[in-house]
A and B are shown apart, each in its own frame.
Chain A
Amino acid sequence: MPEQGIEAQLRLQRGAFRLDAHLQLPANGISVLLGRSGSGKTTLLRAIAGLERAEGFLQVGGQLWQDATCFRPPHQRSLGYVRQASELLPHLDVRANLEFGYRRIPRARRRLGLDEVIALFGLEDLLDQRAEWLPNGPRQRVAIACALLTSPDLLLLDAPLICLDRHSRAQILPALEQLRGQLRIPLLYVTHSQDEVTRLADHLILLDKGKTFASGPPGRLLSDPRLPLNHPDEAAVVLIGQVEHHDPHYRLSTVRVPGGTLSVSLSRLPPGAETRVRIFARDVSLSLDPPHNSSILNILRVRIADLFHEQDSARVMVRLDLDSACILARITRLSADRLGLAPGLQVYAQIKSVALME
């Protein structure tokens, strides 16, 4: 079982495009690769899979996949690769597709059973269908299942939900979330979707013009206003917390996050379970004194980390330190000056709304 994670330095030139990626990813959990289209996300995944011959160094779970002297071809890399337009083997039915990779793995190295994966992705009724005639949604479920059945040490997912409708997404996302807890392998996931980032990401890598320029826990990266991730109006931070208790009478749950607790609408998860909440910068206001008699339930004591002025704008973005995370507040420059906000100052953050990401 890989405990050493992924280490990669891959360089590749394709015409005018140059990939120069440095990765250091945790041994399990979902690492999300984020970047504009054309930033080289797919090329990077293909280089990791060995489908593009990059120069450099790649090590996965303590195994050397390539360096200056050796290059393992794709079939000798223990990985699963799911593409945007899911590709199956067109001459086989769904069952034969699932068995194709599964049969090529020695019995002792199999970590997931055929029936288990078929049930997880709800494929029971599709098994006898020809792969080439499946619609997109079921096809993508089969493609992910095929990749998992090779019991890979690394799963690469290239925007697997991008071509799917809402209904198909709703079938696949929970399965992916379940896998995150169940499989102790790293997933490298490419997406453009803010929603997928907040639901899935344990680790975030930002790619721009072929270069990896930031990497870290999503809370920290998403709260860095200098990163061109979002429009300032949409800037949001995701906090990972734990359900503490439920109040069925008022239909609220308490979630412990770094630096305090938050009241959210009633969660379906049991107390103790890990959950994620999203806080938009536009929903956070600041006050120097503890607010009394306010309708706002969620008030956290925070310290100002820094302020970012937006050009030609009435507003500033304020980054607020919680114990081990941060949130953002987007307020007017006038208020910031009136309150005398400066880095280091203790203030109270009033959070108008907290969205539970379940």
Chain B
Amino acid sequence: MPLSEHDLAAIRLTLELASLTTVLLLVVGTPIAWWLARTRSRLKGAIGAVVALPLVLPPTVLGFYLLVTMGPHGPIGQLTQFLGLGTLPFTFAGLVVASVFYSLPFVVQPLQNAFEAIGERPLEVASTLRAGPWDTFFTVVVPLARPGFITAAILGFAHTVGEFGVVLMIGGNIPEKTRTVAVQIFDHVEAMEYAQAHWLAGGMVLFSFLVLFALYSSRRFKAGLS
């Protein structure tokens, strides 16, 4: 068996983290993307830039500020302590929160593009056929934006699987709790266990390739249709 018990635990943890983060990202990212796609507010530029920040910032910067705000003296830390939840850093929950911030642009941007591509017309048609805003969203917008949702979910999931810096800053390196595959590979390399590192790293390459391959070939398929 080339993978150790610790390796398998890290894989399991990574998949759990990515799945939960993806679900939360779709819930949080959809209204943000909708707002960005539809608003004429002057805040649009500022909010769009904030959402895109994780694309350009070093993960350590993001991790550092999340650590400070979620720590015992930060505003989020004070809130979670007040609610009796303790503090988030170095817990699985803390990792989830950090991942949501870190992968937000990968979900918001495809959704925003999909919503913008729908345009005003189908929404007006639905409204003059008596569909209210929520009704229209679920019966017209979601089906029309389905490729956007699929792209967003895949990118959000894959990007969360691949994160390293933020995980290390927020999660530390606690087996079974915050040690993801990326961190496990780092540990193996530190310990000169190159064979072990190869198995995990190669697996990551294969996984990422398959995800992106699926994504790009389905896009080409769609483009060929229309």
Which A positions have Cβ atoms within 8 angstroms of B?
Answer: 49, 51, 73-76, 79-81, 87-91, 100-101, 104-105, 146-147, 150
Contacts and interface: CB of A to CB of B under 8 A. Distances in A.
Contacts of B143: 91
Given A79-B128, A89-B122, 5 more contacts: A73-B127, A74-B127, A75-B128, A75-B135, A87-B125
B132 to A, nearest CB: 5
A28 B127 CA distance: 24
A150 B128 CA distance: 9
Nearest to B144: A91
B215 interface: no
A358 B121 CA distance: 36
Contacts of B131: 75, 100, 104
A8 B165 CA distance: 63
A100 B144 contact: no
B138 to A, nearest CB: 12
A137 B124 CA distance: 21
Nearest to A146: B129
B222 interface: no
Given A91-B140, A91-B144, A74 B122 contact: no
A76 B129 CA distance: 10
A130 to B, nearest CB: 11
Contacts of B140: 89, 91
Interface centre among B127, B132, B143 (most CB of A within 10 A): B127
Given A90-B144, A91-B140, A91-B144, A101 B129 contact: yes
A80 B128 CA distance: 6
Q: Which secondary structure characterizes the binding site on chain B?
A: helix
B124 A100 contact: no
Contacts of B129: 75, 100-101, 104, 146-147, 150
Nearest to B121: A87
Contacts of A75: 126-133, 135-136
B125 A89 contact: yes
22 contacts: A51-B124, A51-B127, A51-B128, A75-B130, A75-B135, A75-B136, A76-B132, A79-B128, A80-B128, A87-B124, A89-B122, A89-B126, A90-B122, A91-B140, A91-B143, A91-B144, A100-B129, A100-B131, A101-B129, A104-B130, A147-B128, A147-B129
Contacts of B122: 87, 89-90
A157 B144 CA distance: 26
Nearest to A92: B143
Q: Which 9 A-B pairs have the closest CB atoms?
A: A101-B129, A74-B127, A81-B128, A104-B130, A75-B127, A91-B143, A87-B125, A75-B132, A87-B121
Nearest to B131: A75
A79 B128 CA distance: 7
A96 B160 CA distance: 39
Contacts of A81: 128
A51 B132 CA distance: 13
Contacts of A91: 140, 143-144
Interface centre among B125, B126, B128, B136 (most CB of A within 10 A): B128
B134 to A, nearest CB: 10
Nearest to A98: B129
Contact of A49 (B121, B126, B128, B132): B128
A89 B139 CA distance: 10
Contacts of A150: 129-130
Contact of A100 (B121, B126, B132): B126
B125 A74 contact: no
Interface centre among B124, B125, B127 (most CB of A within 10 A): B125
A80 B130 CA distance: 9
Interface in B163-209: none
Contacts of A89: 122, 125-126, 140
A147 B128 CA distance: 8
A15 to B, nearest CB: 15
Contacts of B133: 75
A87 B127 CA distance: 12
A351 to B, nearest CB: 44
Contacts of A104: 129-131, 135
A73 B134 CA distance: 13
Contacts of B139: 100
A169 B143 CA distance: 33
A126 to B, nearest CB: 18
Interface in B107-155: 121-122, 124-133, 135-136, 139-140, 143-144
A142 B51 CA distance: 42
Contacts of A76: 132
Contacts of B128: 49, 51, 74-75, 79-81, 147
Nearest to A80: B128
A275 B132 CA distance: 42
Contacts of A105: 130
A79 B139 CA distance: 20
Given A101-B129, A101-B130, A150-B130, A74 B124 contact: yes
Contacts of B136: 75
